[in-house]
Amino acid sequence: MSPSTSALWHPFADMGAVESSPLVIDRAEGVTVWDEDGRAYLDATAALWFANLGHGRAELADVAADQIRKLDAYSTFGDYGNRPAFELADRLAGLFPEAGAKVFLTSGGGDSIDTAAKIARASWYHRGQPERVHLISRTHGYHGTHGFGTAIAGIPANLGGFGPQAPDASVVPHDDVAALEQEILRVGPERVAAFFCEPVIGAGGVHLPPEGYIEAAVAVCRKYGVLFIADCVICAFGRLGTWLGIDRWPVVPDLVTMAKGINGGVVPLGAVLVRDEVAAPFFPGSPGAPVLRHGATYAGHPVAARVALSALDIYEREGLIARGRALEGVLADAVAPLAGHELVGDVRAGLGLLSGIDLGPAVLEALPGAPAIWQMGCREAGVLVRPLGRGVAVSPPLTVQEQDIARIGDALHAGLEKVAEAVGAVA
């Protein structure tokens, strides 16, 4: 069947443009993906920030097949459990900077966000502060497309057309701790449940936190009793060179959301790590411990959990977590020369294996579609990058080699030539 006749509705896509020319990915191995015509591309985005292990890990295919034969699927609602889910929860809890963390398994990042929002509110409710419902997030922040994740979106375009959002949410400038404190005081500290913070903002265009921001934001949250939720859906599993992402800083978060790299994206899975005192009302020892009436059918899915356990083994065995940090300077050096290009406005890199490069304001004014032209130029040069906001982003698998990173830099330059041609055509 020709893809142009497919009923498939692509997420975040201009379907008019996609139907005429989808890029049909056929197979993938390591840092390379091939389209249906056999053309190879360097995957400089690790798909959607998730293929941290590189593609095509036979070991993961084997454990998935083995698990499907043994116990294909079962729920963990009520008193049902399965060994992979128990083991995974314990290993993830061991990554939390304090003992006693609990782990809620989810189907992906957006599910983790909504789970975290509800756990934060319910925890306050059962700790005698039911008025603590307000959620604060940051400009440029992306927290998925579920209900709460949409309500706390820091990317205004993602709210368009969806009508009113869940109330009791507000957005503060992403780089300003004083603004966070003012907002907590404006709302009333006794009404604020939690602050959502991506350590490095990803999908909103790769924005690194200013020096000292994370420590200061955690301190402000502590001062007013606000829960600090580290959204590490992108930042965990080596993207920032550490297991959780937020553990790059000497802070203890209250909740950590994760997905993507948890199993390299091979099977949909996410998780929320919850600090002991936040989870405590729902566990034995709490008087009349209430039931958290929340959770999705696939929470604790044994195949997803088994694959994640093997993925964690691979991260450990191959030393991949530290590689995200070891390579951050290499990537930063590869993209730094772009700052001198007349079409480029800003280059952000140097903290973890991810980078965002913006076009200058004049280019975007003359040609609002320039980021997509840049993406296509890179694609012609054999490298997949992602158009984001005012430019493009790169976030290769942690298995990337230094020469691959050099190729990414070259492709970004080659792609800019296409942007220059297009700007010339409209000038």
Give residues with Cβ within 8 angstroms of 377, minimum separation 6: 414, 415, 416, 417, 418, 419
Say how many C-beta atoms besides its own lie within 10 A of residue 307's C-beta.
28
Helix (H, G, I), strand (E, B) or coil at 274: strand
154 binds ligand PMP (CB under 6 A): no
Q: How far is the CB of 49 from ligand PMP (least distance, A)?
A: 6
110 binds ligand PMP (CB under 6 A): yes
Please identify, using beta-carbon distances, which residue of 151 and 259 lies nearer to ligand PMP. 259
Which residue in the set 63, 105, 234, 262 belongs to the binding site for ligand PMP (CB under 6 A)?
Answer: 234
Q: How far is the CB of 232 from ligand PMP (least distance, A)?
A: 7
Binding mask 304-343 for ligand PMP (x = CB under 6 A): ----------------------------------------
The span from the CA of 88 to the CA of 305, in Å, is 6
| Token pair of 158 as six digits | 């993602």
202 binds ligand PMP (CB under 6 A): yes
Using the structure block, give the residue that is written with the tokens 């889910």: 85
The span from the CA of 69 to the CA of 151, in Å, is 41
259 binds ligand PMP (CB under 6 A): yes
Which residue in the set 30, 84, 108, 371 belongs to the binding site for ligand PMP (CB under 6 A)?
Answer: 108
153 binds ligand PMP (CB under 6 A): no
Q: How far is the CB of 111 from ligand PMP (least distance, A)?
A: 6
Q: How far is the CB of 144 from ligand PMP (least distance, A)?
A: 3
The span from the CA of 236 to the CA of 245, in Å, is 4
Judge residue 350's burial from the number of C-beta atoms within 10 Å of its C-beta, 0-12 exposed, 13-18 middle, 19 or more buried: middle
Which residue in the set 119, 233, 367, 422 belongs to the binding site for ligand PMP (CB under 6 A)?
Answer: 233
Which of 27-35, 93-101, 103-111, 359-367 is the region at the interface with ligand PMP (rule: CB under 6 A)? 103-111
| Token pair of 262 as six digits | 């948890």
Whose CB is nearest to ligand PMP? 109
Which of 35-43, 198-206, 243-251, 325-333 is the region at the interface with ligand PMP (rule: CB under 6 A)? 198-206
- For residue 189, the number of C-alpha atoms closer than 13 Å in the C-beta half-sphere is 11
CB 261 within 8 A of CB 298: no
Which residue in the set 51, 88, 113, 383 belongs to the binding site for ligand PMP (CB under 6 A)?
Answer: 113
DSSP letter, residue 10: -
**What one-character-per-residue DSSP string does 17-67 give?**
HHHH----EEEEEBTEEEETT--EEEETTHHHHT-TT-B--HHHHHHHHHH
**What one-character-per-residue DSSP string does 183-244 give?**
HHHHH-GGGEEEEEE-SSB-TTT-BPPPTTHHHHHHHHHHHTT-EEEEE-TTTTTTTTSSSS
Give residues with Cβ within 8 angstroms of 278, minimum separation 6: 119, 120, 123, 227, 254, 255
Q: How far is the CB of 162 from ligand PMP (least distance, A)?
A: 16
CB 202 within 8 A of CB 142: yes
Which residue in the set 55, 132, 134, 143 belongs to the binding site for ligand PMP (CB under 6 A)?
Answer: 143
Q: How far is the CB of 109 from ligand PMP (least distance, A)?
A: 2
Q: How far is the CB of 395 from ligand PMP (least distance, A)?
A: 10
Which residue in the set 181, 198, 247, 404 belongs to the binding site for ligand PMP (CB under 6 A)?
Answer: 198
Which residue in the set 144, 209, 391, 396 belongs to the binding site for ligand PMP (CB under 6 A)?
Answer: 144
Which of 84-92, 181-189, 226-234, 307-315 is the region at the interface with ligand PMP (rule: CB under 6 A)? 226-234
142 binds ligand PMP (CB under 6 A): yes
Q: How many residues at the interface with ligand PMP, by CB under 6 A?
A: 14
CB 338 within 8 A of CB 347: yes
Please identify, using beta-carbon distances, which residue of 118 and 418 lies nearer to ligand PMP. 118
CB 391 within 8 A of CB 371: yes
Q: How far is the CB of 418 from ligand PMP (least distance, A)?
A: 26
172 binds ligand PMP (CB under 6 A): no
138 binds ligand PMP (CB under 6 A): no
* Phi, psi (rounded to 5 degrees) for 291: -95, 130
Please identify, using beta-carbon distances, which residue of 64 and 259 lies nearer to ligand PMP. 259
114 binds ligand PMP (CB under 6 A): no
Contacting residues toward ligand PMP, per CB under 6 A: 108-110, 113, 142-144, 198, 202-203, 231, 233-234, 259
